[in-house]
Structure 1
Amino acid sequence: MTLLEPERWTARIYTGGGWRPASVRHPIVSPWDGSELGVAGLAVPSDVERAAASASSAAAGWAAAPFAERAAVLDRAAAVLAGHRDEIAGWAIRETGALRHKAFHEIDLARGELRAAAALAAEPYGELLRGADAGQFSFARQVPVGVVGVIAPWNAPLMLAIRSVAPALALGNAVVLKPDAQVPVSGGVVIARAFEEAGLPPGVLHVLPGGADAGEALVAAPGVPVVCFTGSSAAGRRVGEVAGRLLKRAVLELGGNNAFIVLEDADLDAAVNNGLWGSLAHNGQICMAAGRHLVHRDIAGAYTDLLAERAAKLRTGDPSDPDVRFGPLVSARQCDRVHRIVAETVEAGARLRTGGERDGLFYRPTVLDHVAPGMRAFDEEVFGPVLPVTAFADDDEAVALATATDYALSGAVHTRSVERGLALSERLGTGMFHVNGQPINDAPHVPMGGRGASGNGGRHGGRWNLDEFTDTQWVSVRTTPPRYPI
């Protein structure tokens, strides 16, 4: 049996507990070969408003369900993903241009998020407080917010949607999910079908792929008090602006221009290996990617030589081929942007060591050295397969370079001195940091999020999900009503 048969979802959206004809038909085009994979249904603002009202009606019943019932639905959804792993991965490869290992890894991460959310449903959700006097019993508890809006991106569409959808459902909320229009199946249909098969009650989940107008309608929709957005910093600022005006909670996980720092005492081979992976996983299209390689001047030459040598050998081609290490970018627009950044950085004085070439949507892994602040490849989030190298003289200069940006998402340092690495982590102020690792790290039980232009301090993962998807209620109880002097 198949999970994603096109007859079910073609030109439809999932809302109100079923598949309804969509307002807009949208061709799904593969970035690998330009072929049309199917026709998706996209939502418009009126669809979003109806879905939000339906979710509000369904939320109370779902919140009242026993926690074990909610957990069982999430566990069954994880089992659905496991049972259709090859089919889902095939769609992810064709629709997003993901390599095979990335597609399967993303499915496994999504399953982990579902299992962790199922466990979260049974976790303590309050604390006992001291009463004002001997006759008062007092406690605080976390209660569902009602409806959570989730706006997910195209680069890891399944996992980056599930990490909000799953805990929101586990904690008793209904959800309206808006996947990116470029990935309506991998980021939308898969999730709708998994929960449909898992027995989620009708109206608790709505899946509405769409554009910016649908996203803005979701942020503004009455009855949606919390919106989780993952995407660019520019779009995140707009989400925060609309949500703030309406006194809504916005959980923003935005862009990154993450520093990968290599100290002079690092294991050079390991640092290059981590640097390549940190910059080139999913062709650099990950917010946690290593955006700037800051290398001590004593080893900068050797590091850059080895980086360029290995990057030049990476095999590109059909992302479904297990031997291919590098696939296409998601769109011509993204490829054009990456090429402009590289060209303008070279014009500004950087040296091109390898790459800088494109073939259709394939952009060769590109290593630049002598990159300095003020150059586009240093200042901006490239979101492509570009590895800019900048030399520094000492730890203070490394910190100054690493923090010469508004982004503060992730980072990493390579050094044989753990104490020195930890000292740098305290000075950089990023939401995440890894000593002798690389910046792309995530797990269901850890707090994932950034600061500054990378986010507003919200965190996905583990017990931190309680802060994002519930409200705190204080409750006091007296066996005998008090008497007041009136």
Structure 2
Amino acid sequence: MNMHNRNFLDAGRWTGRAFISEWAETRGGTIDVTNPANGTVLASVGYGGPEDVAQAAGEARAAQKSWAKTLPVERARILNKAADLLEENGGELAQWIMKESGSIHPKAMIEIEHGVLFIRHAAMLAITPTGMFLPGMDARANYARRVPHGVVGVISPFNFPLVLSVRSIAAALALGNAVVHKPDPRTPISGGIIIARIFEEAGLPKGVLNIVPGGADAGEALCSDPNVAMISFTGSARGGARVGEVCGRHLKRVQLELGGKNALIILDDADLDIAASNAAWGAFLHQGQICMATGLVLVDEKIEQAITERLVAKALHLPAGDPSSDQVALGPIISDAQVANIQRIVDDAVAKGARLLAGGTHDGRFYAATVLAGVQPGMVAFEEEIFGPVACIVSFKTDEGAIELANSSEYGLAAGVISANLGRAMAVGDQLNVGQLHINDQTVNGGPYAPFGGRGKSGNGTRVGGPADIEEFTQWQWVSVKDKATPYPF
């Protein structure tokens, strides 16, 4: 951590403002940012409406051409400088992530660490060769090269606000695009202001990155703006369907990374303690507010009772409360509406015959780690993404039965399989319809070097990260070259 600069974020610079080429007031007014753990107001930021988005998109388009012509090694240098600044000021910036998104300290530090790695990965993309010579049908030279789309719009959620914003922003910038980013209005500082500040200090040219916190109308404006060529969206399946619809109407490229109902399959030869530990981490980390959270714990009936007992014991020892006290495992749920939705799903399961063995209650925004056993198809808890700290235990008789249960979901994001027999785990895993498969691990995994995304309701087959970034954030251009023009028969 940089000890010389305890106030890197410098609220005086951005209070009541958004980043549209520079720190500026928005026509949409301002919005207060509150701490979900205690309701205190943390800051006020500019709140963008459609006019602000249009202005940002215009600024981005004007700046993009010269940014695309900037030498790749220079783009990489600026990105690496931004990563250095995020790393040096990580201690200070993690506090904002904790206060704004209800994260415990270790989770906030994971965001800083992964954020740095995503930006460094993007810096490498800037200098990765991306073209090829093509066979020709005559004497001319033919080659194909990847070129930027132009302006990329990024829309990110509240749960991992820094990482789920910067993974798209940094890759898009590295490959020569300009960016207009709309962070979730509940987490505009971790999801936006921090990113604007590191790139501002790193010397990114004006207009190349614009950050406008806003609501659904700002998101809609971004999806329909003629200056924006592509949208990269992370959020709910419902939000993603709307984004896809608007982008489709305007013939924009769209990348959708949506929710999940992720199965962790525990086979009967698994180590019970380790398997229960994996299930608890996957279900309860960040209060279950993660798209890759373990939504279903599928357990062979022979070990169901043993796994359930261990999971209940863990749930009862995971205190929920204000992360600033540092004595809690679970922080607050993001909103009262979300708490009500979690309760609705738990109550529905119990009404339909599931057994509530831990939790199922909340103290304000603090929802207790919850274990539901005997969860079955037909219960909302089996079908829907909960986005709360609820472990849903479902038993199966055979490996084929586990595969069928896991694949019955409309989602297809992540899955894990735990077994002492690696070949058996792989054989089960190979039959799961998911974008990411983790053998002998739980479902919550992410990082800059893997193509991340899902199928079905979890996304439209697009990916972000690793080798996918070049396919997503650039497009092919075919170039043919003759030494000189030649006549045709007409």
TM-score of the superposed pair, with normalisation by structure 2 = 0.97
Alpha-carbon deviation of 1:405? 1.2
Q: Is the 8 A contact 1:8 1:19 kept in 2?
A: no
Deviates further, 439-448 or 421-430 = 421-430
Alpha-carbon deviation of 1:21? 4.3
SS in structure 2 of the partner of residue 138 of structure 1: strand
Distance (Å, rounded) in 2 between the aligned partners of 1:354 and 1:280: 13
The corresponding residue for 2:97 is 92
Residue 49 in 1 paired to residue 25 in 2? no
Q: Is the 8 A contact 2:20 2:207 kept in 1?
A: yes
Residue 354 in 1 paired to residue 340 in 2? no
The corresponding residue for 1:146 is 150
Alpha-carbon deviation of 1:38? 1.5
Residue 333 in 1 paired to residue 337 in 2? yes
The structure 1 residue matched to 2:375, chosen from 358, 371, 378, is 371
Alpha-carbon deviation of 1:478? 1.9
The corresponding residue for 2:88 is 83
SS in structure 2 of the partner of residue 472 of structure 1: strand
Identical-residue share of aligned pairs (%)? 47
Q: Is the 8 A contact 1:101 1:322 kept in 2?
A: no
> Match of 2:462, as an amino acid?
G
The structure 2 residue matched to 1:196, chosen from 200, 204, 210, is 200
> Match of 2:110, as an amino acid?
H
Q: Is the 8 A contact 1:151 1:178 kept in 2?
A: yes
> Match of 1:444, as an amino acid?
P
Alpha-carbon deviation of 1:326? 1.4
Distance (Å, rounded) in 1 between the aligned partners of 2:320 and 2:22: 42
SS in structure 1 of the partner of residue 323 of structure 2: coil
Alpha-carbon deviation of 1:223? 1.5
Alignment of 1:102-113 (within 5 A): 102-113=107-118
Aligned-residue RMSD, C-alpha: 1.1
Deviates further, 52-61 or 319-328 = 319-328
The corresponding residue for 2:222 is 218
Alpha-carbon deviation of 1:6? 1.9
SS in structure 2 of the partner of residue 90 of structure 1: helix
> Match of 1:108, as an amino acid?
E
Q: Is the 8 A contact 1:260 1:293 kept in 2?
A: yes
The corresponding residue for 1:310 is 314
The structure 2 residue matched to 1:449, chosen from 425, 429, 453, is 453
The structure 2 residue matched to 1:465, chosen from 466, 469, 481, is 469
SS in structure 2 of the partner of residue 7 of structure 1: helix
> Match of 1:406, as an amino acid?
E
Residue 38 in 1 paired to residue 43 in 2? yes
Unaligned runs of 5+ in 2: none
Distance (Å, rounded) in 2 between the aligned partners of 1:303 and 1:116: 39
Alignment of 1:150-165 (within 5 A): 150-165=154-169
Alpha-carbon deviation of 1:7? 1.5
The corresponding residue for 2:437 is 433
Q: Is the 8 A contact 2:26 2:47 kept in 1?
A: no
Deviation string, structure 1 residues 4-37 (Cα, Å, up to 9, x no partner): 2222111111102333345222111111111111
Distance (Å, rounded) in 2 between the aligned partners of 1:472 and 1:40: 39
SS in structure 2 of the partner of residue 214 of structure 1: helix
Unaligned runs of 5+ in 1: none
The structure 1 residue matched to 2:129, chosen from 124, 132, 148, is 124
Deviates further, 266-275 or 124-133 = 124-133
> Match of 2:407, as an amino acid?
T
Q: Is the 8 A contact 2:373 2:394 kept in 1?
A: yes
Distance (Å, rounded) in 2 between the aligned partners of 1:272 and 1:19: 50
TM-score of the superposed pair, with normalisation by structure 1 = 0.98
Alpha-carbon deviation of 1:91? 0.7
Distance (Å, rounded) in 2 between the aligned partners of 1:423 and 1:178: 41
Deviation string, structure 1 residues 180-216 (Cα, Å, up to 9, x no partner): 0001111110011111001000000100001011001
SS in structure 2 of the partner of residue 157 of structure 1: coil
SS in structure 2 of the partner of residue 150 of structure 1: strand
SS in structure 2 of the partner of residue 429 of structure 1: coil
Deviation string, structure 1 residues 208-267 (Cα, Å, up to 9, x no partner): 001011001000011211000000000100000000111111100000000010000111
SS in structure 2 of the partner of residue 154 of structure 1: coil
Aligned length: 485
Deviates further, 195-204 or 14-23 = 14-23
Q: Is the 8 A contact 1:229 1:252 kept in 2?
A: yes
> Match of 1:35, as an amino acid?
T
